[in-house]
Amino acid sequence: MTNASALIDAIAEPTRRAIVERLVDGPAAVTELASDMPISRSAVSQHLQVLKSVGLVTDRAVGTRRVYAVDPDALAVIRSYFDAFWTRSLASFRAAAEQHPEDT
């Protein structure tokens, strides 16, 4: 199972988050990704390696290119993390809101 903290740390960096957001729309090669970004293909490749190392993206060979895609299972891990976070946070808020002033 992929570590939610590692996934979140990886997309905390704005360029990597932009790459993931682009890949959510569909698979793309480095050259396609770089054409939409103000950084070099080499820099995009480095960011993709970080995303791949935490399991957020996968790649496959298509001819002479590598095509990258978001791993939906990794996105599910992130979603599950935030669902649990919000469930706990909202339960705490509800408990605080329902607390009577004389209970404090």
CB distance 27 to 67 below 8 Å = yes
Q: Are strands 28-29 and 57-62 parallel, antiparallel or unpaired?
A: unpaired
pLDDT above 60 for 61: yes
CATH topology of domain 4-103: Arc Repressor Mutant, subunit A (1.10.10)
60-70 burial, b at 16+ Cβ within 10 Å, e below that, comes to eeeeeeebbeb
Q: Which amino acid is at 63?
A: G
Question: What pLDDT, on the 0 to 100 scale, is given for residue 2?
Answer: 64
Question: What pLDDT, on the 0 to 100 scale, is given for residue 95?
Answer: 78
Interval 65-92: pLDDT, tens: 999 999 999 999 999 988 887 877 777 7
Q: Give CA–CA dist 68/34, Å, rounded.
A: 12
* Ranges of each domain in the chain: 4-103
pLDDT above 70 for 8: yes
CB distance 80 to 4 below 8 Å = yes
Interval 26-48: pLDDT, tens: 999 999 999 989 999 999 999 99
Give residues with Cβ within 8 angstroms of 61, minimum separation 6: 67
Instruction: Please give the share of the chain, as a percent, with pLDDT higher than 70.
Output: 95
Q: What is the pTM of this model?
A: 0.80
